[in-house]
Amino acid sequence: MITTAMVKELREATGAGILEAKKALEATNGDFEAAVDALRAKGAARAAKRADRAAQEGVIELYAHPGNRIGVMLELNCETDFVARNEQFRQLAHDLALHIAASNPRYLSREDVPQEDLDREVQVLREQALAEGRPEAIIEKIVSGRVSKFYEEMCLMEQRFVKDEKVTIRDLITDAIRTTGENIVLRRYARYELGEAL
């Protein structure tokens, strides 16, 4: 039996509509976690459909970490100025800037990692695995796993959100796309740290 309390809890957790939340709970026989996963998957599919739509509105978010030793500026785009003025969209921009200040990603996405940086990282990881005495037969598998970890640590879209380790930055943006019904793109960012690279 799907209760209104269950639907309400799922809506609060995912931002889904009443009917959408109820259908997800019914499809998963009331399994809350499975319903959340189903709604996430549906949101990802919708986000993929919207990815080709032009996102030229949005905000420039400025964030200074307490103490003013770290600052972030980013451009977050959406399709309409209506969404750009929305409090949830502005909160997303703020959360992304806060995350960048805390996590210091070197790249926006794995596609932005220059090939020479990736080649150098693979070489270092291979040498580490050999130095650890790993069998030659499994070196490539070990390196592949460690490259995935490198992406998770260095690429903003792959990082775990500092305010909720259960979701990645990509998940956070995908959920916002599902909620707003518009394409949302984190176009670019810059992070400054006092005294950095002097």
pLDDT at 72: 96
4-50 folds as Helicase, Ruva Protein; domain 3 (1.10.8)
Fold (CATH) for 57-108+155-193: Tetrahydropterin Synthase; Chain A (3.30.479)
- Angle subtended by helix axes 32-50 and 169-180, to nearest 10: 80
Low-confidence ranges of the chain (pLDDT < 70): 12-17, 41-55, 197-198
Class of domain 114-153: mainly alpha
Query: pTM value?
Result: 0.68
Cβ-based neighbours of 15, under 8 Å, separated by 6 or more: 175, 178, 179
Q: What pLDDT score was predicted for residue 7?
A: 79
Q: What is the mean pLDDT of the chain?
A: 84
The predicted-structure confidence for 129-158, as pLDDT tens digits, reads as follows 888 888 878 888 888 888 889 899 999 999
Report the distance separating Cα 39 and Cα 58, nearest Å.
25
pLDDT in tens, 106-121: 999 989 889 998 889 8
Per-domain residue ranges for the chain?
4-50, 57-108+155-193, 114-153
